[in-house]
Amino acid sequence: MTHRRGRRLGAWCAGLPLAGVSVIVGCRVADTDGVTPVPQLLAFLPWLLLPTGFALLCALLARWWTGLVWGVAVLGLFAWYLEPYGTTTEPGGPPLAAVRVLTSNVEFGRGTPALVPVIRDRHPDVVFVAECEHTCQATLEGDFADTYPYRQAVRAAGSHGSVILSRYPLQPTEGVDGTMGMPGAVADVRGHAVRLQLAHPMPPLPRQLGLWRRELGRLRAFAAAGKDTPTILAGDFNASQDHAAFRRILDTGLTDAARLAGHDRAPSWPSRTASVIGAQIDHVLISPDFAATGAHFLRLTGSDHRALVVDLTLHQRE
């Protein structure tokens, strides 16, 4: 009797986590973000291997063969979906210019003091800064007035402010409409027009999933509307490659620069635990005109996001 009770307990310990993980993986298979808490947990999809492994162990100890087969099937799906999403296309034309891009969410401006020395050390050509409120913008524009004479900003308080700093001349654009500021511009990179757009849609909060999807949809529309022009779409997307709404942006032909540089699963948030567990929600997406030769995620004191620096090469279209 005790042995039977123990096997029943082991089956429950295996079945409950397997059921929860299966719902999340099932949404990934169905190419949907589902409803709360699925979108929130999809960002941490690789880490769901832990409860799956625990469930397999419990099923094995309980000799619950159905649960064991179930768990192995879930592991197989993990192996498939942990692969980087999307296709990559190497530029065919000759190189035209090297462009270093930095993107950072400075969390209500609190990470600005740490961002300043990073900019000085890394010498990016274009800087995208989200949650850069009035004080943050004043600091960056004051400290780098000569280095980055061109800028495009949404001037607002708290998380709504943002700015693009550039060594290259900028032609302002309307940007993408959003709850938080998402400025845009067209840069003149050695005589070649390059679309620049900062991304910062609303996060997938339980009661704001519709807004999150709509704002990611607007970023997708921006990406799809300019396929004839080299494009850099960078910032805090509040989404990972495991979110269907983010994959729709990649489906327009853009590629994640971190993936091209071999860092497709490097966590960027939350920075305090990123070395152990986290999600890559900060991205630099590039059109096929660019090659990516390096990517580095950097800890910023005061911010809950890591900064991302990527080295790009703009190529001539064939």
How many Å apart are CA 138 and CA 136, to the nearest integer? 5
Rg of the Cα trace of the chain?
22
pLDDT tens digits for range 140-168: 999 999 999 999 999 999 999 999 999 99
- CA angle at 163 for the pair 147 and 141, rounded to the nearest 5°: 40
What three-state secondary structure class fits 56? helix
pLDDT at position 226:
86
pLDDT at position 6:
63
How many Å apart are CA 246 and CA 290, to the nearest integer? 20
Domain ranges within the chain, ordered by starting residue: 2-81, 95-315
- For residue 104, count other CB atoms closer than 10 A to its CB: 31
What three-state secondary structure class fits 212? helix
pLDDT at position 3:
60
pLDDT at position 2:
57
How many Å apart are CA 227 and CA 253, to the nearest integer? 8
Q: Which residues does the chain have with pLDDT short of 70?
A: 1-6
How many Å apart are CA 187 and CA 126, to the nearest integer? 9
pLDDT at position 95:
95
The candidate with the shortest Cα–Cα distance to 161, out of 117, 208, 234, 109, is: 109
Q: Which own/partner contact pairs does 188-193 have at CB distance under 8 Å and 24+ positions apart?
A: 189/96, 189/97, 189/99, 189/230, 189/314, 190/96, 190/97, 192/96, 192/97, 192/230, 192/314, 193/229, 193/230
Query: Exposure string (b/e) for 66-82, b if CB count within 10 Å is 16 or more?
Result: ebbebbeebbebbeeee
pLDDT at position 282:
98
Name the residue type at position 307. A
CATH number for the region 95-315 comes to 3.60.10.10
How many Å apart are CA 168 and CA 187, to the nearest integer? 6
What single-letter DSSP state applies at residue 84?
P
